[in-house]
Each structure stands twice: as C-alpha cells, then as structure tokens.
Amino acid sequence: MRRLCLILGWLACAVPGLAQAHLVAAGQGAIRIVDRAAFVLLSVPVGALSGFDDNRDGLIDRAEIDAHRSQLDAQVSALLDLRSGEERGTLTFSDLLLPGEDGAPAGEVAAMRTYTWNAHPARLAVRVHLFHSDAARGRQLALRVIDGARTEAAMLDAARPAHEFFAGNLATFASFVRAGVGHILHGPDHLLFLLTILAVGASWRYWLTVVTSFTVAHSLALAASVFEWVAAPPRLIEPLIAASIVVVAVDNLVRGHRALAHRATLVFAFGLLHGLGIASGLAELGLGQQTRLAGLAGFNLGVEAGQLVFVAGLLSVLAALRALPLERWSNVAPRLASICAAVIGTFWLVERSFA
C-alpha cells in the first residue's frame, strides 16, 4: 500500500491529464521537469525487451515483471538516454507497471523513471533505443515534455530516435514537419479520399481545383481546432470521414463526369471533416502554448508535403493511363477505383460506427 501511494503521488505530480483507464497509451510518453529532476512515464513495447516471456504468449504480465524485474529494469534503462548539455541524468527511481488498470497481460509496459542533474535542465536532449528490434520496427513514439508553463512534443521513430526539447521554435517546426508527413502518408482514409476525387477527373484544371479546395479546407479546420475555435470528438469525425469516401465514390458511379461541375464545393465541405481528423493526430502530440504556432505550421506543411508526394505520383499514373491507346481501360479504371473506394469506405464506416 505504501508503494502504491508513492506511485500514485509520483504520477499525479509527473503526468497529470493522462487517460484514467491507462497509465500511458501505447506509443506515447511524458516527461515532467521539476527543479533538478525529470519524471518519466513511457510506453515501452515488449518487442524492445527480451528474456521475460516465460509463457511464450508474446505479452507481459505481472508475474513476468516480478520474476525478471532487475533484468527488465536494466534493459529499460539502456533504452533511454536523457541529457542536459553534456551531463547525463542520474537515475534515482525506477519501476515497471502494466499500463491497463485491470492488470491484464499487455504488449506494452509502463516504465516509470526519475532522473536528476546538478542544475535545472533548461534544454533536455532525449534519445530512445526502442526501434532496433524487428518487432518494434515501424513504431513511433509521441513524447511530450513539460517544464513549468513550457510544453513541447516530438514524434520519434527509427529514422529520428532523438530530440532536444526546448531548443527553440525552429527545432519544433522541423520536428512537426516530419510528424505531418508521417501522419498523412500513414493515413489510408485521407489518401483513399484523394484517390476517389482525382480518379474520375480528366483534366489538370479539375485536378488542381479539387486538390486546392481540399487543401484549403483541411488547413482551415486544422488551424481552427488547434486554436480551440471548434472541437469535435474523434468518435464522431472518424465515421464521417469514412462516409465522405462512400459519398464521393457513389457520386462518381451514379453521375460520372456530370458530378465534376460542383465537385469542388463538395470536396471543400468534406475537407473540413478531414481537417478535424488530422487535428486529432496533432492533438496527440500535445502542443503547448509556446510551440503552438511553430508546431501547427510545421505539421500542416508536413501534411501538405506528404499529400503533394501522393498526388504527384497518382496524377502521373493517371496521366500515363490516359495516354495509352486503351480507351476502354481509361473509362473502366475510374469506375473500378470508385467501386473499391465505396466498398472500403463502407467497411470503415461500419467498423468505426460500432467500435
């Protein structure tokens, strides 16, 4: 009971505002700096650990943590490197817990750590070694650091496993550009919507109009959400995004080229929905007041860059197909793409509505 009270008190001080059902969500972490200490709560995938899986179920449970605590603690410590300047933080407290409140076996372990320095770490350099194993490859870590009124977030992965927090707006901007690119290129619903609206078009003027309309709309919605002018829960927005794919796909099939005259208006309306969905990804990074503008600008630029790469590749393919002497295929391909989009969008709509 004494140990539990200590942990709960540490948690309340270190990372307030985390979800009540879990100590820390998978792929996320938080660090709070207080005076000369940094309190860390980090989700560590079991794929980054070894030698604990006694029952060979690929998960970790309370008995395995207790049986291999020293070994696991040493492994987790090796995965983290916190520095202030050239001074490495001294580990003064550590513990491992299951992330769920029910104590069920999990694919993640909540690692709690406290590091101290000789002086307040005004700039905190964090390096994680979570992505070296095959099981952890492709994962990302959304890490948020809080120091008094300052908050900064970064998305870490195998290509970028380190970040220096509170290094300035330029570093924050660059970090969020990368996060925006990753968010859009790993967002299948956003890309499928773009495919659906572009496949039916036959001219560069149409493609430029709808892409511009979509870009302006989701950029406005993203900014409005970040500045808290509008708010919508993901459980409402995500099914509506799926529905937008179905609506446009069916419109392609029913009206064909007749739908193109007013397509930009429809795309703008649905772009607002997609912007709110993109905002939920940005919200998970924990933008603070000091880095909000730099983070928003960087994330939006990253989203647009990732979207541009996808659109450029898609339009190149579409232009090449239309240049081929296969008139029948050029007519069938847009309908086939719309049918596939309608089926996938309907599946997502049902799945997200009842999830």
| Helix axes of 169-185 and 263-283: crossing angle, nearest 10 degrees | 120
**What pLDDT is recorded for position 31?**
94
The Cβ of residue 152 has, within 10 Å, a number of other Cβ atoms equal to 29
Q: Give me the amino acid identity at 214.
A: F
Phi then psi dihedrals of residue 218, to 5 deg: -75, -25
pLDDT 10s digits, 297-348:
888 898 889 888 888 888 787 777 666 665 555 567 778 888 999 999 999 9
In terms of pLDDT, which residue wins out, 126 or 149? Answer: 126
The label of the residue with tokens 């928003």 reads 296
Distance of CA 292 to the CA centre of its chain: 17
Q: How far apart are CA 216 and CA 314, in angstroms?
A: 20
Q: How far apart are CA 247 and CA 207, in angstroms?
A: 18
In 1-157, DSSP assigns E strands to 28-34, 37-45, 80-84, 87-88, 90-97, 108-116, 124-128, 141-147, 150-156
**What pLDDT is recorded for position 240?**
92
pLDDT 10s digits, 170-217:
877 887 888 888 888 878 888 999 889 888 766 778 888 888 999 999
Query: What is the share, in percent, of the chain residues with pLDDT greater than 90?
Result: 28
